[in-house]
Structure 1
């Protein structure tokens, strides 16, 4: 018997929880719910989930704090739901390890599409990831632990920054549009904000320090990882 996908929705608005439950159950998902940040952490520790939908504005403990605590013990996909849409909030969420970001008001169908895309990404591993380590000059990628090192010092990448870097490495010297990167890395074609790609590229460049130029901008097209020395 096929095991159902189980999601935890952390949302203090009852009407929103009821609406999301309707859509998740229609997709044959199991949905658990928490109405505040403290309960969310307690429920998460007692159960096993495939994905979390996490509102920012919560009683007891806000979504940022909940995300930070979960990331200390788990790499489970997290979609942050918020009424805020400013770039600072997106950057802050991505730095905490949020995998995707959706702004209220939103279509439940859009959320479901993003959930499915993240779940596909979390279970799909390219064949060339069967290797344990990749080397890019002084950059080392440990595929088992999903950790990246620059000159033997660990770089603190978010899960999606890691996915983006690894995708570009596996397809080095190939130019991708923002739309293609959304589809290949985030897993959705129609719902992504193109600024999400630019934000992640900028953060990756900052963290790669003197090797920031590896990620090249192809004006009018998109981005590529431009490098020859690779193991």
Structure 2
């Protein structure tokens, strides 16, 4: 049975989510404060983590960064904050998805399944292939990216987007196609999620950022300057 950690101070919401997810075959451990995380011996025992941002004893955004330092499991933010700044910071600190309250429990379950499918795909299919493009060295098996011998630290989602565009260089992908490829889920009003991740990815690529081109009204592509 897959274990999910829920960090949420709304006790009623915890009860609703726990009851629903247990019926769907998940094991849920719900905690209401950040300090309760320190009592958990290994966060990696959880296949996925759900976290609110407004918690009574601290900032959920800071907690995301701390969790990501020791755990690679997908992190989904569940919050009432629906601002671009909040989304951008959460994704930068390592969150994989962002769901705004109030939300449908069915939608949340869909997001959970999508993120777990991504883990299965990328943990189960490794290759020794590397890609050199536009001054970037992308190692697919170790999921590492270098430019000028300098390693670029990317989140799981940022790497997934970069890999998609690099493997299919010069091919145009709509935002919907990117979402479906990376999140393994249907694209329903998730434009902000794609835009925010692309913006963060470009910033981290530094001098190579212009290789990801925006085709207004169409989508994105990675231009191969050597092609």
The answer to whether 1:124 aligns with 2:121 is yes
Unaligned runs of 5+ in 1: none
Q: Secondary structure at the match of 2:70?
A: coil
1:71-110 equivalences under 5 Å are 71-110=68-107
Distance 2:93 2:212 in 1: 23
Tell me how far 1:209 sits from its aligned partner. Answer: 2.1
1:154-169 equivalences under 5 Å are 154-169=151-166
Aligned residue for 2:182?
185
Distance 2:34 2:116 in 1: 23
Distance 1:195 1:152 in 2: 32
* Residue in structure 1 matching 2:217, options 206, 217, 220: 220
Residues 213 and 47 from structure 1, CA distance in 2 versus in 1: closer, same or farther, beyond 3 angstroms?
Answer: closer
Q: TM-score, normalized by length of structure 2? A: 0.92
* Residue in structure 1 matching 2:167, options 143, 167, 170: 170
Distance 1:142 1:196 in 2: 25
Q: TM-score, normalized by length of structure 1? A: 0.90
Q: Secondary structure at the match of 2:30?
A: strand
Deviates more, 1:196-205 or 1:93-102: 196-205
* Residue in structure 2 matching 1:12, options 9, 12, 18: 9
Tell me how far 1:96 sits from its aligned partner. Answer: 0.2
Q: Secondary structure at the match of 1:227?
A: coil
* Runs of 4+ deviating beyond 6 Å: none
Q: Tell me the alpha carbon deviations over residues 134-174 of structure 1, each in whole angstroms, 9 at most, x when there is no partner.
A: 32242122334322111111212222111110111122221
Deviates more, 1:57-66 or 1:103-112: 57-66
* Residue in structure 1 matching 2:139, options 137, 142, 160: 142
Q: Is the 8 A contact 2:53 2:59 kept in 1?
A: yes
Distance 1:126 1:41 in 2: 27
Unaligned runs of 5+ in 2: none
* RMSD over equivalenced CA pairs, Å: 2.1
Q: Secondary structure at the match of 1:125?
A: helix
Q: Secondary structure at the match of 1:72?
A: helix
Q: Is the 8 A contact 1:182 1:192 kept in 2?
A: no
The size of the alignment, in residue pairs, is 227
Q: Is the 8 A contact 2:76 2:99 kept in 1?
A: yes
